[in-house]
């Protein structure tokens, strides 16, 4: 029977050890963990990770006294980017488990945020227990104020809370100075609403991923950096021309037709931006990992198909809705929707066919292993 070997693991998801104490994880061993706790405690005695690390070492000592085979370690994430931090936690845990023969894990955390990584840990080693360390404090008004002050001093939280509030106040003050208090209220409420939607729908994470990809392409000297920058500029042009189109063909019939007017003026530029970005991606894939070209070759054809069909649909609906000053009316709108739909479907079909053709070509070009005779 194989004897169980347990890892007592402390998770510092926001990497206070690295951000404050300049200690790189993972940290393995009792003495190294104690030294890390002392170093962090001397810099910030109020950090809850200090208590979590001491609890980890205490639990390790208790299991050692029982005669169990135990290891102790601390793994850290990333202070500013939780996505990259979770990836770092996964790779650190893989490095600890490699060749150690550990069969189970006891997870020690200082709060609910660290427990988000529990599925990552469970996918690599069975978790037999979770120990959450809570510091006892007197819940009075002064303590609540102090906790809020500490939270707002955190760079992550200050960016989420203070920056939007500061921007809203500046816009409101600027509106009053320019003599448009009603407009200032509308702008501030609109900005806050857009921000809340971005956070609630996770669009900010998409932008964060896009910025990370842009930085990676710049550092790697990839063609996608130029194509992404070009796509951003074209999107800005598209937004401006879409707003101009909205003003030119403004109708009081409803917001749906106003959106269609915006799409009519901007969709061509948005489609061009997406085409340039996708072509840049194809060029990079062709230069670096040519065997994966079949997975991305259909992307520009799909983008073009969606753009063309959307353009035709917007023209058709606006042409039959009696929008003032719209240049296309009557049967011309029907012709647009028919031809753009056929063209878009043909374009998408050609992309699928090309992807399938490259896939078959790649399979046929793989070398067939030779069998040796007896």
Q: Which helix (H) or strand (E) holds 130?
A: strand 127-132
Q: Please tell me the predicted confidence (pLDDT) of residue 144.
A: 57
Between the CA of residue 134 and those of 52, 74, 131, what are the distances in Å? 9, 18, 10
Higher pLDDT, 205 or 97: 97
Query: Rounded to the nearest 5°, which phi and psi values hold at 2?
Result: -75, 130
> Which residues neighbour 106 within 8 Å (Cβ) at sequence distance 6 or greater?
6, 7, 8, 9, 59, 127, 128, 129, 130, 131
When comparing pLDDT for 130 and 182, which is higher?
130
Average pLDDT score over residue span 23-35: 84
Task: Please give the average per-residue pLDDT across 151-175, as a whole number.
Answer: 70
At residue 331, does pLDDT exceed 60?
yes
Q: Quickly state the pLDDT bin for 202 (edges 50, 70, 90).
A: low
Across the range 226-237, mean pLDDT stands at 88
- pLDDT, residue 141, reads 45
Task: Report the alpha-carbon distance of residue 103 to residue 7 in Å, rounded.
Answer: 8
pLDDT digits (tens, 9 = 90+) for 45-83: 777 778 888 888 888 888 888 888 888 888 888 877 777
pLDDT per residue over 236-282, tens digit each?
999 888 888 888 877 666 778 788 888 888 899 999 998 998 888 88
3-state class (DSSP) for residue 374: coil
pLDDT surpassing 60 at residue 367: no
Average pLDDT over residues 104-123: 76
Residue 372: the pLDDT is 45
pLDDT above 70 coverage of the chain, percent: 79
Which sequence spans correspond to the domains of the chain? 5-132, 139-201, 203-359
Nearest to 9 by CA among 24, 21, 23, 25: 25
Whole-number mean pLDDT of the chain?
77
pLDDT at 342 (0 to 100): 92
Is the pLDDT at 18 greater than 70? The verdict is yes
- Residue predicted with more confidence, 108 or 150: 108
Reply yes or no on whether the pLDDT at 324 is more than 60. Answer: yes
- Higher per-residue pLDDT: 147 or 357: 357
DSSP string, 184-216: HHHHHHHHHHHHHHHHHHTHHHHHHHHHHHHHH
Distance of CA 44 to the CA centre of its chain: 30
Alpha helices in 249-374 (DSSP H): 255-288, 299-319, 331-365
Q: Which of the four pLDDT bands, split at 50, 70 and 90, describes residue 156? A: low
- Can you read off the two tokens belonging to residue 250? 């403004």
Q: In this predicted structure, what is the pLDDT of residue 264?
A: 87
């Amino acid at each position: 029977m194989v004897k169980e070997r347990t890892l007592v693991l402390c998770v510092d998801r926001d990497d206070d050890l690295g951000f404050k104490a300049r200690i790189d994880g993972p940290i393995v061993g009792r003495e190294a963990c104690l030294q890390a706790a002392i170093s962090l405690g001397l810099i910030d005695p109020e950090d809850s990770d200090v208590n979590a690390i001491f609890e980890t070492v205490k639990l390790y000592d208790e299991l050692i006294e029982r005669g169990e085979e135990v290891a102790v370690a601390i793994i850290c994430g990333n202070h500013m980017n939780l996505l990259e931090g979770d990836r770092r936690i996964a790779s650190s845990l893989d490095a600890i488990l490699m060749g150690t023969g550990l069969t189970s894990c006891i997870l020690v955390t200082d709060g609910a945020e660290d427990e988000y990584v529990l599925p990552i840990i469970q996918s690599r080693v069975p978790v037999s227990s979770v120990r959450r360390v809570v510091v006892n404090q007197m819940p009075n008004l002064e303590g609540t104020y102090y906790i809020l002050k500490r939270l707002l001093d955190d760079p992550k939280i200050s960016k989420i809370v203070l920056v939007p509030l500061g921007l809203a106040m500046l816009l409101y003050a600027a509106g009053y100075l320019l003599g448009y208090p009603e407009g200032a209220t509308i702008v501030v409420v609109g900005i806050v609403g857009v921000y809340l939607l971005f956070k609630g729908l996770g669009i900010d994470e998409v932008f964060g991923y896009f910025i990370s990809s842009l930085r990676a392409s710049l550092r790697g000297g990839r063609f996608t950096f130029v194509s992404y920058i070009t796509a951003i500029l074209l999107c800005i042009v598209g937004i401006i021309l879409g707003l101009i189109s909205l003003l030119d063909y403004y109708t009081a019939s409803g917001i749906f037709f106003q959106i269609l007017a915006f799409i009519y003026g901007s969709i061509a530029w948005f489609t061009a931006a997406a085409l340039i970005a996708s072509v840049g991606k194809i060029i990079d894939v062709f230069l670096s990992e040519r065997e994966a070209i079949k997975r991305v070759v259909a992307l520009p054809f799909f983008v073009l198909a969606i753009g063309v069909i959307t353009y035709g649909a917007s023209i058709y609906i606006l042409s039959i809705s009696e929008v003032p000053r719209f240049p296309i009316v009557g049967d011309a709108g029907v012709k647009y929707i028919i031809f753009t739909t056929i063209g878009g479907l043909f374009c998408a079909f050609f992309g699928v066919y090309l992807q399938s053709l490259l896939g078959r070509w790649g399979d046929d070009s793989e070398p067939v292993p030779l069998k040796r005779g007896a």
